[in-house]
Amino acid sequence: MKLFECQSCRHPLYFENTRCESCGRRLGYLPARDTVTALQTKDGGWHALAEPKAKYRYCANAEHNVCNWLLPFDHPEQYCAACRHNRTIPDLSQPYNLLRWRKIEVAKHRLFCTLLKLRMPLVTRAEDAEGLAFDFIADRDGGGGHAAVMTGHDSGLITINLAEADDPERERQRSEMGEAYRTVLGHFRHEIAHYYWTRLVADSPFLQEFRNIFGDEQRDYVAALQTHYAEGPPPDWPEHFVSAYASAHPWEDFAETWAHYFHMVDTLETAGGFGLSLRPKVGKAVELAAKIDFDPHHASLERIIEAWLPLTFAVNSINRSMGLPDLYPFVLAPPVIVKLAFLHRLIETRSRPQARDTRTSTIRAIVASLRRPVGSPESG
């Protein structure tokens, strides 16, 4: 995520802010300009200081304080590019549901910000029966017993259990499932990958390459998950997969790797926004030096990887100084980098049709240039 500032007083802003804490102006996000703008009222609408000649209005979900995105005043849609994909929102008559929905929407809007920057196709259910849609639903206790809502994807419909927005409950589930990382944003990035596998890989020229790299997705999915939960991942999974769950089935490997690619791109953009450069004061500093002065949405994978190792080593070291777990609890083994390269080329083909093709020889050069796997230093 890039950094923002109030056009009125130059106070730094977060992506989610709705009012400047310094000058008090109302704020809104302009997707077309990728900026949070200060606003002023005029002629019954909002005028953006970032684009004074245009007239805007808020997404209809602003009334619930779950969205700060703006639309042109005469836009035919009530909802913004992110909210128009909502099919089911939580029952707002129930205590705490609004607060949890707000947390979910913060994560979803961050996801959509990246999707728009990468120019990923976005189709609603009104446009296609299997277009992208979201159900945000809480577990229910009814006459027939407890009905648990499963977070997942089915033919373009992504369901998110509202409990994922509850920090203690999410941490309990993370611990129970032995996961190194579990966030609402991570769920969105994982589940959207299943949607894009269908849109970008299935029945495409990329399918055979996908099978060569990730495996045959025609393998029984239900049986594979049952085996994974009953027996756990193979002992050598860190040598081949970005997470233990990725080893369950090629579809899950694709989704976990896709989510990881989004983690990298968004985090590097934030680091670049802060002007971060890393020059560690250690003997082999050249291996951990990086200047993050590029747009990761349109950079080569080589440049992304070269910046990622020093950045993750730095943030993990800072967390350890605070007595906290590693912020980045992953290791990118060479086979994972090959998978990331496939995704990078897949996304580039959609966002930049004339982009330079990333061939296997280039990826092998990236892998060969690494002195050790990318990710966390050993715990010791």
pLDDT tens per residue, range 274-327: 999 998 887 666 778 899 999 999 999 999 999 999 999 999 999 999 999 999
Confidence at 196, pLDDT banded by 50, 70, 90 = very high
Q: Residue 9 to residues 17, 27, 31, 192, 270: CA-CA distances in angstroms?
A: 15, 12, 22, 37, 22
What mean pLDDT do residues 196-221 have? 96
DSSP label at residue 227: H
Q: Residue 194 to residues 32, 169, 199, 334, 360: CA-CA distances in angstroms?
A: 26, 25, 9, 23, 24
Q: Note whether 129 and 210 are within 8 A (CB).
A: no
Strand partners, 47: 40, 55
Q: Which of 47-56, 64-73, 224-233, 338-347 shows the lowest mean pLDDT across its residues? A: 47-56
Q: Note whether 58 and 68 are within 8 A (CB).
A: yes
Q: Note whether 198 and 156 are within 8 A (CB).
A: yes
pLDDT tens per residue, range 342-378: 999 999 987 665 554 444 445 555 555 554 455 554 5
pLDDT value at residue 145: 46
- Indicate the pTM of the whole model: 0.90
pLDDT value at residue 366: 59
Return the structure tokens found at 17: 């802010």
Q: Which of 1-10, 41-50, 207-216, 250-259 shows the lowest mean pLDDT across its residues? A: 41-50
Return the structure tokens found at 192: 């959207």
- Give phi and psi for 105, each to the nearest 5: -70, -35
Strands 51-58 and 45-48, by their bridges, are: antiparallel
pLDDT value at residue 367: 57
Site of tokens 């996908």: 210
More confident residue, 119 or 372: 119
Q: Which of 173-177, 190-194, 369-373 shows the lowest mean pLDDT across its residues? A: 369-373
Q: How far apart are CA 18 and CA 281, in angstroms?
A: 41
Q: Which of 90-94, 109-113, 187-191, 253-257 shows the lowest mean pLDDT across its residues? A: 90-94
DSSP label at residue 200: I
Does residue 140 have a pLDDT over 80?
Answer: no
Q: How far apart are CA 262 and CA 196, in angstroms?
A: 13
| 134, burial (CB in 10 Å: exposed 0-12, middle 13-18, buried 19+) | buried
CA 118 from centroid of its chain's CA atoms: 12
